[in-house]
Structure 1
Amino acid sequence: MPDVVIPDKPAFKAGEVCELAQIQPYVLRSWESEFPDLGLSKTPGGPRIYRRADVERVLRIRELVFTEGLTLSGVRRRFEAEQPPAPDDLFTLAAELQAAEAANARPVTGRGAPAREVAAPVVASAPEPVVSEEARLKLAKVKQDMRSLLDLLGPPGATPPPAPARRSRRA
């Protein structure tokens, strides 16, 4: 499949995804049933929305089905094999990052020369976890998203704005 240029926008409608991937809407719907995490859930009365990552995934599914001849269950198995194991949760990832940073930190004296290290007793422990750059970037993105949410909520203790008054329909 020739390289498809995905427009630079955050969300796409189903028709746009079908046009980009050159597939029929019923094909996209069948793929949604096989891959439930494909696209965002439909809002009541609204269209199904797809993120850029969803569009990229649809294009990958199309390539695997039409070019390599895989079935949808074969595509699912391929995705599972390509997916690296995720950390249990965000707290585990944060602990791994802190441990890696602590292992890389060295005590420094006032002039910038390394301080003399005192021999510590040898304690048998598990090796320090190695944290990939990808994990660091994911955590930084989550941290940025959390700060954005906190900014939207306002300072702690602030009262939320009052809800708009409702009009009655009495004649």
Structure 2
Amino acid sequence: MWQKTLTNASTLAPAKLVRNSVSALRAYTAARNAGVRSFKEIQLAFDLEEKYLAQFELQLGFKLPSSYRAAMAINNGGELVVGEEDWQLFPILDQSDRKRIARTCNHVLRETNEAREWHDFPDNAVAIASNGCGDLLIFLVANESLSSEVYEWSHETRELTMVSKDFSDLERL
């Protein structure tokens, strides 16, 4: 709310601007006091309906690892920590309303298709997160489903490094 308030401040009447600025400041202060480190962390979690998970698996052609599937059903997207780095999870496309479509436009399939255009990106990989510097966290296809292991693909070295045996072992922010 505070981001929208500050972004749209120039179009508001003065009295409304003051009210919205005060509520935005309160929201920001509460978030900082709760330990939020950056503005992008202040987002409400959106769950994901089963029909969109099933639709995603059908489009992908593979079953999702159960821990990843369960996590995305509760919070579709968000951030996680691997080592010392923060990673932004790609959401699964949610077409239930305009707000969710907008928040999930950078969905897993779109980001994976873009990554497949890069030199030496593995053909059997599905991109699930980015560190913002070109590196991706991926699942690999194994036996008609995605493996539960999470790998980091380096865009510079084109190397894969296993970072977790299972998605559930990663720390979500």
TM-score bracket for this pair, using the shorter chain length: under 0.3
Q: Which has the larger radius of gyration?
A: 1
Q: Name whichever structure is richer in strand by fraction.
A: 2
Q: Which has the higher contact order (CA 8 A, sep 6+)?
A: 2
TM-score (norm 1): 0.25
TM-score (norm 2): 0.25
